[in-house]
Structures are given as C-alpha cells and as structure tokens.
C-alpha cells in the first residue's frame, strides 16, 4: 500500500467515523429515532457531498443538487414509496388499470404525508401543543442530518476538515446541552475533528513538498500519524480532566443572558428533555419553594443510577429477585403555605470529602452505602436516602437545624439535625446515610414525646385551612390511639379513595391545594397526595413533612443498580417517631404500598471507601487550588502527557523499523537541529565535515560520534546493525537532541 493510499484511507476512515458518531449521537437524543435510518441517511449524504466536491460545480449549484436529491430521498422514505414502486414495476407487464392503481397509491401516500406535515407545521408555528410525531421527527431530523453531513463530505473533498465538522459539532453540542445527554459523543467528535485537521494539514504539506521536488523521509508519514493521534487523545484527556474546573459555574452565570424562553416547537422535534417540573432540582442556589400546579410532563430520560451493594449482580435468568426499596431524597420541606411548600430559614455549611456531618454515627440505625452516577451535566443535587452522614466528594448542605459537631451529645444532635438539601461538586459520588431500624411494634409504642424543634416546625399549618379538611382528618382517624395508627389510616384512605392522574388543572387562585385535591379534584399526582397526608397528619397532632426527590426506580439485576429516570420524580411523606426518627409513608396510589418490617434489620458498620483513595485525594487537592492555578495547570499537564506518550511511541517505532531508516531519521534530525551551529547542509559537504563543524561549537561529543559511526555502518558495512547497538545509538541521539535544542536556541 502506497503512502498516498494510506493518507487517503486514513482521511476517509476518520470522516466515516465522524459521521457514525454524529448520527448516533443525534439519534440517541431524539425519541423514537431510528439510529440505523439516520446513519444511512448521513453516510449517503456525506458520499454525495464528497462526490459533488470532487467536481467543478460552485457551492450554490452543488447545494441545490444536494437539497433536491435529499428532498426526493427523504420524502420517498417518509411516504413509504417502496410498496407503490414495486406495484408500479410489476404493473408495467399487466393491464393499464393496474398501472393506474399503482399511480393512485403514489398519490394517496403523498397526500397523507402532506396532510400530516401541514398539521405538524401548523402546531409548531402556533406553539400550541407538544407533538411527538415519529414520522415528522424522522423527516425533520433526517433533513437536518442530510444537509450537515452533505457539508461534511463536501468539505472533506475540498480539504476543509475543521470547517466541515464545525456545523455537526455545534449541533451535537447544542443537543447535549439541551437534553443533558450525549457529552461523550461531543468529545469523540472533537477528537475525530482534531485528527482530521492534522491529517489534512499533513496531506497539504506533502502535496507542496512533492510539487516543489523536496525530498522527505518515509518516517514523516508514521510520525505525523502518531503525533496527530497523540495530540487528539491528549486534548480529549484535558477536556475530561477539565471537570476540576467549575465550568458549570460559568455556564450557570452566562446562560440566563443568552437563552430565551423555551418554545414548545423545540419539544415537538422529539428531544428527550421534558423533565418533571416538580421533581428535578438543578439550581445550585437551593430553591426554597415548591408550588403545586397543573399537569406535569414526564419522560424516560435517565437522571442517575445508584448502587447500594445490598444484592450481587445476577446474570440474565428467570429468577425472581426481591429488591430493597429506597427513596432518593433531594429536598425536604417543612412549611405549608396553602399553595404548596417552602422551607424556613436555612444555614449552609461546606464539607470536605469523607468528612462526617456528625462526630458519631447514631446507634441502632442501619447503614446504607450509595454510589451515585449523575447523567445530567447540570445536575448538582446531592441525593441520599435516610439520614445523611458523609460523602466521598466535597459538598454544601443547607440546614434548618445544623448538627452540633464537637459536642458530647452528638448522638442526640444526629437525631435533632434538620436538613433541607445539598449540592455536590462531582457527578459521581458515594454517600453513606443511616436508615431508621424499626419494627411496626416499635412505631406503635413510640409515643408522643416530641422534641421542641419537631413540635415547632412539623405541626405547623397555614391559617386558611378549610374546616372540612380538619373534619375529614378527624373522621379518618376516629378511634385510632397512637400516632402510627393515625398516619397509617390517613395513608390508606388516600390510597383507596383518590385516583392517580397527571391530567389535572392548575388550582384556582386563592384555593388551598389540599382542600382542592380532597374535595374538588379527587385525583392528582404525588405532590397532591403527599400534601394532603401531611396536612391531615399535622391536623391530628402527628409531625409530618413533605420530601421531594425520586422513587426507587427500575432495578437492573445484571448490574445490581437502580436506574432512575425523570418519570420516577416523586414526592412522599415522612412521619417523626420519638426514638426512631423519620419514617417514610406512601399515600400515592400509583406507587407500591410500603411493607413495614416485623423484625429489625442487621446493622452494618461504616465502610465508606472510594475506589481509589490516592486519586480521590489528588482530585480534592486540585479542587482546593485557586481557579487561575487550575487553568494554568491543565496546559502544563497536557504538554507533559503528550511529551511522555510521544517519547515512548517514538522509541518503540524507531526500534521496530529497519535500522537504516531509524538512523537516517536520527541524522536528519541532527542536521536540522545543528544547522544553527554548524551551518546549513551544502552540496558536496560530507557527514564527517558536518560533524567536525558541529564539534567546533559543542566540543568533542561522544554521543554525536556514536550516532554518526552507527549510521555509516548501516549505510556501508556488510553486516547489519543489531538491535542492541541501535538502542545505544537511540539513547545517544536523545541526549544529543536536548543539547542541540538548548545550544541552537540559546547560543553562548
């Protein structure tokens, strides 16, 4: 295979890889999109664009032909002309009526698609409703990918590598920002773009050398490929390491000034972004209000995954597994306003990695270790189950009643501390928290000796609670003696008498939402169920609060992890029991009923250990550096990584190829670096004369003589240079290279 063929094949391979990454990245962020179909469209468009770029057409004519051909292909596929085409082909050999029938099939399917497109475009233009039409999604995104990938092919033919990928990169990055997914695809496309740019510049350089008749070593091809690859990988590694720089802080500050209101027409394209407005919290300022409104929109976007280690991974089988049920907290509210929920005054505190929020863990509570992996780049919410204890990543917590660390009564402080929520610095972190270890009998016997802070905060009701709400609470709990019996009765009543529905109107102005749900709507989603239970429990003297976050999610037995999507956004109730703590209740009828234990669970000991303590410590140390120091450290780290990788690969290549080529490369390098000292190579000037002139500047140099003699041996001696001698010459050349670099730049 010739060098030219290698270069062309590499350029084509990089372009195809870029198209595959781009098409796959877009398809993965559009609901119902066919990855195979969009990939075929994209490759066909790139091929056509490349063919047009090889011709003599100007840009406008090529774009016109690209657009026309794409419109025919996309419309034909969307209208499903494959059936009518086959019928028309076979009707040619039959009667005229068969041809007429086949043509009528064409007309019918064309009209059906046209009507469908008109309705979709009218709804998008009018910003009326969210439409998720899979056919129109495929047509719209197919057209967009056709144009973008056609430009990629055209630019590849015209040797504009970076400019060709720029629209694809901007589109994929915009989708990743909007949906919170696909960052890996963006990084991969950046790496492929850098590689294409390097190959394109090298091809252009070689073309100029050949046109001018300049000789160059064959190793230039190999080392150029290695350099481009290493540079691309290094820059991608720097982008990944850039997580230690708070880019999100910059984005959060800039985004409000550059982004306008979100239009329904964008959602009409099927983007996977419609998260629940009542369950996802991404604001680092810790929003302190939760108002109840109309119908939420849920989808299956993956928000995060959690591993607890309670069950081992199980291969695919028919085995039925009993999975522990957990709720993943995000915010805890204490004040009912009649319109929704809010938090009383907060105090924020910052905690370092592995630093407990309490001096001593609580007694007789069950430890739960949770490994979180967050899939939304802008989600900095600290999630936890039970009572939070510590994390392997630094975080900030907001407290209504902060723990009193350093006090001898730290165990009491753990029980009394009252957290609202928190934000974390890393998208992957480990949390240790404690779950109340109780039985139904313990809840029955817990009594009503509530601490003062519980009575003050968690028996509060707004002054405008309608009397019929209070009366209903009294009727439901009539004859119940203990707080547990009252809470259980309210929970069961709501589960059995109200319909779960996302299709609910916004409460009228001035209406108490608990009253509206209980007596007017008689249906609703989790916010309404939880609100009604907390209000009625408090009305009966049972301390309760509303918690917002995510339900347990879907359990993947093969990976032993919980998968949490936007559709799992949830609100539930926690009731306080003296001597036990906060216990979860589930009044929402769409959720499974909580089965309370009859025997206490086993109590493990704390075991928070990051996967790699050294890396964790290094990451935390870097995060403590000032911002300007981190910005300066990244380029330095990138240079060091690139230099180390190139150093290792260079030595490997020079040892593996024939000794004559390796030594020729070394001598050319010595000539290039030494000409500032010994003068440029002249016709008729021998190697010995050049070395002699160089030694006049450097002084007698054993490394220079060793490389020169080994090179002459490879050229003229009958015996070949052995690998051992080649390694010695390589080491000498590397020492000499550094000296020539320094003396050539700084002559003295």
Question: For residue range 373-431, what is the model confidence (pLDDT) as tens digits?
Answer: 998 766 889 999 988 889 999 999 999 888 765 444 444 445 567 889 999 988 889 99
Predicted confidence at residue 558, as pLDDT, reads: 83
Highest mean pLDDT among 25-34, 245-254, 339-348: 339-348
Residue 484 or 196, more confident: 484
H or E segment at 470? helix 467-476
Which residues, other chains included, contact 458 with Cβ-Cβ below 8 Å and sequence gap of 6+? 334, 538, 543, 544, 545, 576
More confident residue, 257 or 64: 64
pLDDT tops 80 at residue 86: no
Q: How far apart are CA 465 and CA 195, in angstroms?
A: 66
**Res 613: pLDDT:** 45
- In tens, the pLDDT along 272-285 reads 443 332 233 333 23
Buried b (16+ CB within 10 A) or exposed e, 180-194: bbbbebbbbbbbbbb
| Token digits of residue 37 | 């179909």
**Per-residue confidence (pLDDT) for residue 326, from 0 to 100:** 93
Whether residue 519 has pLDDT greater than 80: yes
Q: Which residues contact 304 (CB under 8 A, 6 or more apart)?
A: 372, 373, 374, 375, 376, 379, 383, 564
Beta carbons within 8 Å of 477's beta carbon, 6+ residues apart: 485, 486, 489, 490, 540
Helix (H) or strand (E) run with residue 564 in it: strand 561-565
Residue 583: its pLDDT value, please?
93
Average pLDDT over residues 511-530: 92
Provide, rounded to the nearest whole percent, the portion of the chain with pLDDT above 70. Answer: 62
pLDDT at 605: 45
Confidence at residue 334, expressed as pLDDT on a 0 to 100 scale: 92
Banded pLDDT at 681 (limits 50, 70, 90): low
Higher pLDDT, 500 or 640: 500
More confident residue, 95 or 132: 95
- 621: how many CB neighbours lie within 10 A of its CB? 10
pLDDT category, 208, cuts 50, 70, 90? low
pLDDT at 629: 58
Instruction: Answer with the residue of higher pLDDT: 606 or 159.
Output: 159
- What does pLDDT average to over the chain? 74
Nearest to 512 by CA among 537, 531, 492: 531
Instruction: Enter the pTM of the model.
Output: 0.49
Beta bridge partners of 342: 289, 335
* Per-residue pLDDT, 226: 60
CA–CA separation, 322 and 304 (whole Å) = 22
Domain ranges for the chain: 3-186, 289-621, 658-745
By C-alpha distance, which of 172, 174, 160 is closest to 11? Answer: 160
Rounded to whole angstroms, the Cα distance separating 492 from 490 reads 5
| Best-predicted range by mean pLDDT (133-147, 290-304, 373-387) | 373-387
Q: Please, which pLDDT band fits residue 522 given cuts at 50, 70 and 90?
A: very high
Segment (H or E) for 162: helix 161-179
Q: What is the pLDDT of residue 300?
A: 72
Residues 699-732 pLDDT 10s: 888 888 888 888 888 888 777 888 888 888 888 8
Instruction: Retrieve residue 522's tokens.
Output: 């008689």
Burial of residue 443, with CB atoms counted within 10 A of its CB: 0-12 exposed, 13-18 middle, 19 or more buried: buried
d(CA 527, CA 521): 13
Helix residue ranges per DSSP H, 625-658? 627-656
Q: Which residue has the higher pLDDT, 257 or 519?
A: 519
Q: What is the pLDDT of residue 488?
A: 95
- The pLDDT of residue 673 is 81
> Which tokens is 418 given?
């009252």
Q: What is the pLDDT of residue 201?
A: 63
Q: What is the pLDDT of residue 618?
A: 53
What residues contact residue 55 under an 8 Å CB cut-off, 6+ apart?
62
**Pairwise CA distance, residues 638 & 201, whole Å:** 22
Q: Which residue has the higher pLDDT, 139 or 327?
A: 327
- 8 Å CB contact between 380 and 401: no
Neighbours of 32 (CB within 10 A): 12
Give the best-scoring range by mean pLDDT among 322-331, 453-462, 483-492: 483-492
- Residue 580 · residue 446 · CB < 8 Å: yes
**pLDDT tens profile 321-333:** 788 999 999 999 9
Q: Is the Cβ–Cβ distance between 22 and 42 less than 8 Å?
A: yes
**Which long-range contacts link 349-353 to residues 24+ away (Cβ below 8 Å)?**
349/396, 349/397, 349/399, 349/402, 350/394, 350/395, 350/396, 351/390, 351/391, 351/394, 351/395, 351/396, 351/397, 352/394, 352/620, 353/391, 353/392, 353/393, 353/394, 353/616, 353/620
pLDDT given for residue 246 in this prediction: 44
Q: Which residue has the tokens 């180390």?
A: 644
User: How far does Cα 486 stand from its chain's mean position?
Assistant: 44
Sheet holding 395-401, edge to edge: 347-351, 395-401, 418-424
Q: Report d(CA 555, CA 561) in Å as an integer.
A: 6
pLDDT of residue 262: 42
pLDDT level of residue 236 (50, 70, 90 thresholds): low
* Tokens read off for 203: 């091809």
The winner for highest mean pLDDT among 59-68, 406-415, 624-633, 716-725 is 716-725
Which range among 224-228, 366-370, 614-618 has the greatest average pLDDT?
A: 366-370
To the nearest whole percent, how much of the chain has pLDDT over 90?
Answer: 20
Structure-derived torsion over alpha carbons of residues 53, 54, 55, 59, reported in degrees to the nearest 10: 20
d(CA 11, CA 8): 5
pLDDT score for 607: 44
| pLDDT for the residue 672 | 79
Q: What pLDDT sits at residue 700?
A: 82
d(CA 456, CA 437): 25
Distance CA 359, CA 636 (A): 40
> Which segments of 180-301 does DSSP mark as H helices, in order?
183-212, 219-241, 247-258, 264-267
For residue 587, is pLDDT > 90?
A: yes
pLDDT (average), residues 477-493? 95
Which of the four pLDDT bands, split at 50, 70 and 90, describes residue 366? Answer: confident
Looking at the predicted structure, is the pLDDT value of residue 240 above 60?
no
């Amino acid at each position: 295979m010739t060098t030219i063929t290698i270069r062309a094949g590499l350029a084509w391979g990089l372009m195809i890889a870029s198209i595959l990454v781009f098409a796959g990245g877009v398809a993965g962020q559009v609901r119902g999109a066919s990855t195979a179909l969009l990939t075929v469209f994209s490759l066909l468009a790139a091929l056509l664009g490349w063919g047009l770029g090889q011709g003599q057409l100007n840009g406008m004519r090529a774009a016109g032909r690209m657009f026309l051909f794409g419109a025919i292909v996309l419309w034909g596929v969307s209208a499903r002309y494959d059936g009518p085409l086959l019928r028309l082909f076979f009707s040619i050999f039959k009667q005229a009526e068969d041809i007429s029938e086949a043509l009528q099939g064409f007309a019918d399917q064309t009209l059906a698609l046209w009507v469908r497109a008109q309705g979709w475009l009218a709804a998008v233009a009018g910003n009326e409703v969210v439409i998720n039409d899979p056919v129109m999604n495929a047509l719209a995104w197919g057209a967009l990918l056709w144009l973008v990938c056609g430009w990629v092919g055209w630019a590849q033919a015209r040797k504009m590598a970076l400019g060709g990928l720029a629209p694809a990169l901007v589109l994929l990055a915009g989708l990743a920002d909007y949906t919170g997914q696909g960052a890996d695809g963006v990084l991969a496309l950046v790496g492929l773009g850098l590689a294409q740019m390097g190959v394109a510049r090298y091809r252009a350089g070689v073309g100029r050398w050949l046109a001018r008749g300049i000789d160059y070593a064959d190793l230039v091809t190999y080392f150029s490929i290695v350099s481009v690859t290493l540079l691309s990988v290094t820059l991608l590694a720097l982008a990944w390491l850039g997580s230690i720089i708070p880019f999100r802080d910059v984005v959060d500050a800039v985004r409000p000034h550059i982004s306008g209101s979100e239009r329904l027409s964008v959602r009409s394209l099927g983007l996977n972004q419609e998260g629940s407005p009542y369950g996802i919290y991404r604001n680092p300022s810790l929003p302190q209000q939760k108002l109840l409104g109309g119908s939420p929109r849920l989808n299956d976007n993956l928000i995060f995954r959690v591993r607890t280690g309670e069950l081992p991974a199980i291969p695919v089988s028919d085995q039925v597994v009993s999975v522990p049920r957990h709720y993943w907290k995000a915010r805890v509210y204490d004040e009912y306003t009649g319109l929704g929920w809010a938090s009383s005054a907060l105090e924020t505190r910052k905690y370092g990695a592995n630093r407990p929020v309490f001096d001593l863990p609580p007694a007789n509570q069950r430890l739960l270790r949770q490994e979180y992996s967050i899939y939304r780049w802008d989600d900095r919410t600290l999630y936890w189950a039970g009572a939070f204890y510590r994390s392997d990543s630094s975080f900030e917590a907001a407290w209504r009643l902060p723990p009193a660390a350093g006090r001898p009564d730290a165990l009491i402080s753990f029980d009394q501390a009252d957290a609202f929520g928190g934000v974390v610095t890393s998208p992957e972190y480990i949390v240790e928290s404690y779950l109340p270890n109780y039985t139904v009998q313990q809840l029955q016997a817990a009594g009503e000796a509530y601490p003062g802070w519980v009575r003050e905060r968690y028996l509060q009701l707004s002054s405008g609670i309608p009397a019929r709400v209070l009366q209903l609470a009294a009727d439901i709990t009539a004859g119940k003696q203990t707080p547990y019996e009252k809470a259980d009765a309210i929970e069961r009543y709501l589960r059995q008498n109200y319909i779960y529905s996302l299709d609910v109107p916004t409460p009228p102005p001035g209406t108490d939402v608990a009253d509206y749900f209980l007596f007017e709507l008689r249906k609703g989603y989790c916010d309404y169920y939880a609100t009604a239970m907390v209000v009625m429990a408090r009305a009966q003297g049972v301390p309760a609060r509303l918690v917002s976050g995510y339900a347990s999610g879907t359990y993947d037995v093969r990976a032993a992890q919980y998968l949490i999507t936007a559709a799992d956004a949830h609100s539930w109730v926690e009731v306080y029991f003296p001597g036990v703590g906060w216990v979860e209740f589930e009044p929402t009828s769409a959720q499974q009923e909580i089965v309370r234990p009859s025997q206490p669970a086993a109590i493990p000991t704390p075991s928070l250990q990051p996967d790699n303590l050294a890396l964790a410590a290094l990451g935390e140390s870097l995060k403590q550096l000032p911002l300007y120091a981190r910005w300066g450290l990244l380029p330095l780290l990138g240079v060091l990584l690139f230099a180390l990788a190139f150093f290792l690969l260079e030595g490997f290549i020079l040892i593996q190829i024939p000794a004559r080529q390796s030594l020729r490369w070394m001598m050319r390098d010595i000539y290039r670096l030494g000409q500032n000292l010994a003068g440029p190579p002249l016709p008729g000037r021998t190697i010995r004369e050049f070395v002699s002139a160089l030694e006049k500047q450097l002084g007698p140099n054993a490394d220079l003589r060793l490389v020169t003699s080994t090179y002459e041996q490879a050229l003229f001696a009958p015996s070949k240079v052995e690998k051992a001698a080649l390694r010695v010459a390589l080491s000498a050349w590397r020492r000499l290279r550094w000296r020539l670099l320094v003396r050539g730049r700084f002559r003295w």
